[in-house]
């Protein structure tokens, strides 16, 4: 806990208590304000400083001066008229080194200046009711209440900063910037463009407005509307956002995208749902994803389970994706490295393509019960089409060239192999490839002109009509 000494009225000083002293930026900001106030008081004629009493305190505009009110006792205060600064704390002379031990309630809804700065810090906290003006509120200690203006059509914006108490912040309908300390804070956002920096275990809500929220404390609950940005720098958050919003995930988050579109970036071991529409994810790790509409999945890693109406997946190294497409065919495009796409539970087709460049790695594609197209890439690959509808297994000259295994070529009627850009006639293929096939038990291995070796498990013989792309 820090005590900031602020210039008061009648030559006195006021002690403002600031907890959360580990947050040096908060303490420093409060000290900067105290210095700024002192500078203005030193300039003759700028501020009219007075000690306020409980009850009504009003100041009519007078010349070039504005009011500076000092509160050093607990109680309820109504402040109106031309005030530009308020300070709340203990009187240094009467209580040297001790904070103001009490609750202070300030109604500043009728202050007429365009900007009001409040520096407050008591052991119990301060309840502050703003008006249509803009301003800065520092609640340095205790459990503070900030009540913004929801009535005025164009209320001002506030910079609101609190310590480590359990604060309640109702921002109002202006454009607010909120730095909440490490307590259990309740923050309600209005219709403006708002920024929240959360250090505590907070409940943050706002169905209207445009919100930008950074979570540093962990274990917070966020429910905000569309066009929001939520950045989790901690973990274990419960986050719900409206349409066209973006969430940057932390660890073990529960993320609900409640609109028609949404974006989730990063995060580890998170559960992500989009029950109303489409979703874009980038660089998630070990996620559980459930989307009613279309999913675009880019660069994810880890053991990931995806349920989506339709998915377009761009893989990356060390991705193991379990895919269930519920309404349409899905696309998987591999990058380099070790990747697995397991679509065994999908009732709709999967079109999977191995990487075309980069380091080789090992890739595994597993189709479901629908017709799948599985195309090998640069590295070794294992291809499983699944039973049911006919599948296509593809190989591309200039891209393939490694060792490939087709595990279930004989499991579905009509399975075929597509050769792309290979310069084979049917007779050449029969002579140069099929006639030179090798056999290991019931397995058959063929070697293509680019040295691709393809092993067909439990297939004792192959015929040219099972291959397309021949001249």
Give pTM, 2 decimals.
0.94
Round to whole Å and give the CA distance between 215 and 234: 7
Q: What are the tens digits of pLDDT across the range 171-185? A: 999 999 999 999 999
Spell out the residues 6+ positions from residue 82 whose beta carbon is closer than 8 angstroms to its own.
59, 60, 61, 62, 65, 66, 67, 111, 112, 113
Binned at pLDDT 50, 70 and 90, residue 29 comes out as confident
- Is the pLDDT at 227 greater than 70? The verdict is yes
- Is the pLDDT at 21 greater than 50? The verdict is no
Spell out the residues 6+ positions from residue 46 whose beta carbon is closer than 8 angstroms to its own.
40, 64, 65, 66
Averaged pLDDT, 17-24: 73
Round to whole Å and give the CA distance between 128 and 78: 10
Round to whole Å and give the CA distance between 185 and 217: 11
Q: Which tokens belong to 424?
A: 């084979």
Round to whole Å and give the CA distance between 438 and 428: 17
Q: Which residue has the higher pLDDT, 368 or 360?
A: 368
- pLDDT at position 253: 98
Binned at pLDDT 50, 70 and 90, residue 23 comes out as low
Q: What are the tens digits of pLDDT across the range 234-272? A: 999 999 999 999 999 899 999 999 999 999 999 999 999
Q: Which tokens belong to 73?
A: 């006792």
Averaged pLDDT, 406-421: 95
Indicate the SS3 state at residue 30: helix
- pLDDT at position 377: 94
- pLDDT at position 359: 66
- pLDDT at position 64: 81
Element (H, E) at 32: helix 24-42
| One-character DSSP codes across 294-334 | EEEEEEEEEEEEEEEEEEEEEEEEEEEEEEEESSS-EEEE-
- pLDDT at position 62: 74
- pLDDT at position 256: 98
- Is the pLDDT at 22 greater than 60? The verdict is no
**Percent of residues, the chain, with pLDDT higher than 70:** 98
**Percent of residues, the chain, with pLDDT higher than 90:** 89
Round to whole Å and give the CA distance between 225 and 223: 7
- Is the pLDDT at 439 greater than 90? The verdict is yes
- Is the pLDDT at 44 greater than 50? The verdict is yes
Element (H, E) at 31: helix 24-42
Per-chain mean pLDDT for the chain: 95
- pLDDT at position 432: 97
Q: What's phi and psi for 89, nearest 5 deg?
A: -175, -165
Q: What are the tens digits of pLDDT across the range 73-128? A: 999 999 999 999 999 999 999 999 999 999 999 999 999 999 999 999 999 999 99
């Amino acid at each position: 806990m820090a005590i900031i000494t602020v210039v008061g009225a009648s030559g006195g000083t006021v002690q403002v208590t600031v907890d959360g002293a580990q947050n040096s930026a908060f303490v420093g900001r409060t000290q900067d304000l105290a210095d700024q106030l002192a500078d203005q008081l030193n300039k003759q004629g700028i501020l009219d400083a007075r000690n306020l009493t409980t009850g009504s305190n009003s100041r009519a505009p007078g010349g070039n001066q504005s009011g500076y009110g000092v509160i050093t006792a607990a109680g309820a205060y109504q402040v109106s008229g031309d005030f530009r600064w308020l300070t709340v704390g203990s009187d240094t002379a009467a209580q040297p080194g001790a904070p103001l031990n009490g609750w202070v309630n300030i109604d500043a809804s009728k202050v007429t200046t365009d900007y009001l700065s409040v520096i407050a810090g008591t052991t119990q906290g301060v309840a502050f009711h703003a008006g249509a003006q803009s301003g800065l509120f520092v609640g340095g200690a205790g459990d503070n209440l900030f009540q913004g203006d929801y009535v005025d059509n164009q209320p001002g914006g506030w910079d609101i900063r609190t310590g480590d108490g359990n604060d309640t912040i109702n921002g109002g309908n202006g454009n607010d910037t909120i730095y909440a300390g490490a307590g259990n804070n309740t923050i309600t956002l209005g219709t403006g463009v708002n920024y929240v920096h959360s250090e505590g275990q907070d409940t943050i809500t706002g169905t209207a407005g445009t919100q930008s929220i950074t979570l540093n404390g962990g274990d917070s609950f966020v429910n905000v509307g569309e066009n929001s940005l939520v950045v989790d720098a901690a973990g274990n958050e419960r986050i719900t956002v409206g349409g066209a919003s973006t969430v940057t995930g932390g660890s073990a988050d529960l993320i609900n995208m409640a609109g028609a579109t949404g974006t989730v970036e990063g995060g580890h071991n998170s559960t992500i749902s989009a029950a109303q529409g489409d979703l874009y994810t980038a660089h998630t790790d070990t996620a559980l994803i459930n989307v009613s509409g279309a999913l675009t999945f880019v660069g994810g890693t880890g053991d990931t389970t995806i349920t989506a109406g339709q998915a377009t997946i761009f893989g990356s190294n060390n991705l193991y994706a379990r895919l269930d497409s519920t309404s349409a065919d899905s696309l998987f495009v591999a990058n380099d490295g070790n990747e697995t796409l397991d679509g065994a539970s999908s009732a709709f087709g999967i079109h999977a393509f191995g990487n075309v460049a980069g380091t080789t790695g090992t890739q595994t594609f597993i189709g479901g019960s629908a017709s799948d197209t599985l195309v090998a890439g640069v590295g070794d690959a294992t291809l499983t089409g699944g039973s049911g509808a006919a599948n296509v297994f593809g190989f591309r000259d200039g891209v393939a060239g490694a060792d490939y295994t087709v595990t279930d070529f004989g499991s579905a009627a009509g399975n075929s192999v597509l050769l792309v850009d290979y310069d084979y006639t049917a007779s050449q293929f029969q002579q140069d490839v099929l006639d030179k096939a090798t056999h290991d038990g019931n397995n058959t291995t063929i070697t293509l002109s680019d040295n691709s070796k393809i092993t067909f498990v439990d297939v004792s013989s192959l015929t040219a009509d099972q291959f397309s792309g021949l001249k």
